[in-house]
Amino acid sequence: MVKAKVWIGRIVSFILLITLLFMLFIVISSKASGGEPTVFGYQLKTVLSGSMEPGIQTGSIIAIKPGGDMTRFEKGDVITFMESDDKLITHRIAEVKGEGQKVQYITKGDNNNAADSNPVLPTNVVGEYKDFTIPYIGYVMNFAQSKEGATLLLILPGILLLVYSGFTIWKAIREIEDIKKDTSNKQLT
C-alpha cells in the first residue's frame, strides 16, 4: 500500500513536470518564431476550419515542410498557402495547370463541395503538409500565442507543482508526528 502511494506520487510529479516543460516549449517556441513553432525543420500550424475533415480536424496542429521548389507539387498533394487576405489555408491539389514558373494549383478542401475560387500560384505556397496531425492541440497553441495564454500556461503548471509539493511536505510532517505520538504512547504504557 505504501509503495503504491509512493509510485502514484512519483507519477503525478512526473506528469506535472512534463506538462510544465511542454507548456514552456509551446510558449517559447511560439513567441520566438513569431507565432508558429518549428520542430526539426517542420513548421507547426493550427487548423481553424473544418474544410479538410475528417483527415485533419478543426483545432488540430499539423506539420508542414516549408521551402524547396514550389512548382513540384502534383494532384493529390496537400499544401499550405497564403490567400490574398494574408490567411493561411491547407487544402488538397485537385488539378495542376501549366508548367514550371507558370504553374497554377486548383485546390479544394476535402470537406468542401467545390474547388477554391482562386488558383494558387507557387509564390503563395508556404509548404507541404507531411501527414502529421495532433487533434485539438491547436486550440492550446492559439491560446499560448496570446499574452494571457502565455502567462497562464507558464504559471499554472508551476503553481500545481508547488501545491503538490506543499501537500507532500504536509503529509510527510503529519506522518512523522504520528510516529512520534505512537512512540510517546508506547513509552507511557
Question: Any idea which residues carry the catalytic annotation?
Answer: 49
All residues at 6 or more sequence positions from 161 whose CB lies less than 8 Å from its CB, including other chains: 13, 16, 17, 20
Handedness of CA 132, 47, 98, 42 (dihedral sign): negative
Give the type of residue at 85. Answer: D
Q: Which of 175, 136, 155 is nearest to 19 (CA)?
A: 155
**CB hemisphere CA count around 163 (13 angstroms):** 8
Q: Answer for the pair 50, 59: CB distance below 8 angstroms, yes or no.
A: no
Q: Answer for the pair 164, 13: CB distance below 8 angstroms, yes or no.
A: yes
3-state DSSP assignment of residue 104: strand
Per-residue cell: 33: 518564431
DSSP state of 144: H
Q: Where are the alpha helices (DSSP H) in the chain?
A: 2-32, 137-145, 147-188
